[in-house]
Every structure is written in C-alpha cells, then in structure tokens.
Structure 1
Amino acid sequence: MNLILWLQILFVATVSANTESFLLHVPSDFPLRKNSDEPSSYPRYISLHNSNLAKTTFFSGIEGPTYIELKSLQVDETYQIKICWTALDPVSITDIDWIVIPHSTEFQNTKSDEARIFIKFNVVADSWPPLNQLTKIPINVSVINTKLGIPVDLYKIIIYIGLVMTITFWINGRTNLYELLKNL
C-alpha cells in the first residue's frame, strides 16, 4: 500500500498539466488610457473592452518567446491569465511572465504613446523525434477579471452549487431523503 502511495506522489510531481495560470495586478497608479478600444499596433493582443473575460487562440512557434499585449485593463484590478494547450501537442510552456513596456518605447517594431502590458511565454517541444521548428502550436490564452479573489467566470458555478444545496436541504427538511433513497 505504501509503495502505491509513493508511486502516486512521484508521478504527481513529474506530470505537468496543459494549463498554466497566474495572477496579474494592475497598480492603481498605472497610466492607462480611458478609451483604449482601438486596435493594437502589436499583432497579438487580447482586449477586455466592455468585458470581464476574453479568450483568444494564438498559433505560437517553437523555441521562441511569444508576446501578447493585454488591452483595456482597469487600474487597481487583478486578472487571472490562463494559458492552455491541447494534449495532442507534445509541448511545455515555460518562462511565463508579464512585462511593462513604457510609453514611446519601441518593442518588436511597434511603438505606442501609452504604457503597455504584455504577457510572455516560451513554447518548448517535449517530443521525440523533435517537432519541426516551423510547427505552429494552437495556444488558448484567457484573461479573466477577479472579484474578491475569485475569477468572474466561476460565479455562475458557485451560484448553481448554492442553489442545488439549498433545494436539497429544503427537500430533506420536508421528507426523509435518506429513507427515500434507501428504499429505492
């Protein structure tokens, strides 16, 4: 029994999921433009204009950094950034980070009058034989606003669970669910 438990712990430590996530907090003094719904000059971007969550699929190359600009963020808010990829692609996502590019600074042949926030990650091949360097891997990137430390996309699930529990307790108070289910 101890051997099985030891092997499970060993495998859990070595298995990587196909989703990586981190939290990004935009400081209250970050200089964001109020009406920043115009398209980005950078080709890869996600905009949260009039939304609390956004998801986009990007095709990333192997063995090189991928940068994605985050637009229409709100100051003094926290966002959960999720990077997902399919298990069919034998890759790992490494060096996940976010960077701030100051205003009027050139970054990868683009320039903006406002400060910009980018997320950065590397796609690394984990296969034998190695993947072709020209292979493009579909990567889903989600940006989700968090309120009270909970991503807003989970609120509907929390409400659903609460309703199911309330109805169950209400029915159990009117009848004896244990006896009813026992006699089935």
Structure 2
Amino acid sequence: HGQTYRYRSPNSDMLGILVERASGKRVSDLLSEKLWLPLGAASEMSVTVDMEGTARTAGGMSMTPRDLARIGEMMRQGGTANGRRIVPEAWVRDTVASGGSHEAWRRGTMVFLFPKGRYRNKWYQMGTPSGAFCGIGIHGQWIYVNPSDEVVIAKMSSQPEPVDDQLDLDVVAFFEALSRMV
C-alpha cells in the first residue's frame, strides 16, 4: 500500500462488502439514504449483485448520465447539493485536491494518462492547473469535473474493450478542450 498505484477491481468489491458489514445495510440502501435522495437524483440507480447477493461495487452500478453528472457537480461544489451537505468538505478536499501520492501514481501503469496525476478514494486527480479530476468506469464510463472552468461531463459508452488506453487519451484531450470552450 502506498508504493505503486494499481487499480484492482476486487479491492472495490471488497470495499462494498466492508461498507455493508460496517453499516449493517445493503450498499443500495445506504447509497439511497446517504447519497441518492439528498442529491435529488431524478432516476433510480441499480447495483448488480453476484450469485450470493453481494453488491458488485467495482463495476455494477448503473444510473442515468444526468444523475452521474449530479454526483460530479456535488463534488465540484465541495460535497454539497441542493443547499445540503452530502459528504464532508474535508473528505472532498482530501480526495480531489490534496490526497493521494503522486510518487505511487508515477510508479503505476496509468501515468501515461495523467503524468502529474494522483489517485484517492476512487477518484483520479489529473494534476492539471484547472484542478480537474475524474471517475473512470469500465467500458468507457467517465465523470469529468473541472472546478476552474465550472464544467462537469458525464460520458456513457459501451466500448468493446474494458480499457482502451489510446481512446482514454483522446477522451481526456476532448474533455480538456471542451472545458476551455465554455
């Protein structure tokens, strides 16, 4: 831990299991109570479960692009939405501004995507002057947040490959260019 960044889906699945055990609630119920309802989501969210009924938190959450953008806007607003505090401001700041190790990131396999990047709490900090950060999902799902330019972009896709490095580089360039146009 802390030496070399490597995203591993089973770690995200284990996090879901730990959250359920610690809270005594299903991930879907906890997300509904603590995030979805306070966020003012317009549509339902679903969480895929495995054959044992365990939430698949590494890649089994589905929502509309508009509601995904609401999550990005809440993060851009420091953890607030609809005039309500959803997540602690200190957690947001640690996640997207000050947390994560650039050295661990630099030794990892995704440095090509964000050469000055970091990773913290399931969010990628891009290391750009704009303070942009993002969430990246399997098969091309993205949420991009650029605080300086007040831009949030939700991208839905169904890429044939789970990860496409060249396409990811193009997506990042597109998001950055689009932000500058606003």
Which structure is richer in relative contact order (CA contacts within 8 A, separation 6 or more)? 1
Structure (1 or 2) with the greater helix fraction: 2
How high is the TM-score relative to the length of structure 2? 0.22
How high is the TM-score relative to the length of structure 1? 0.22
> Which has the greater radius of gyration?
1
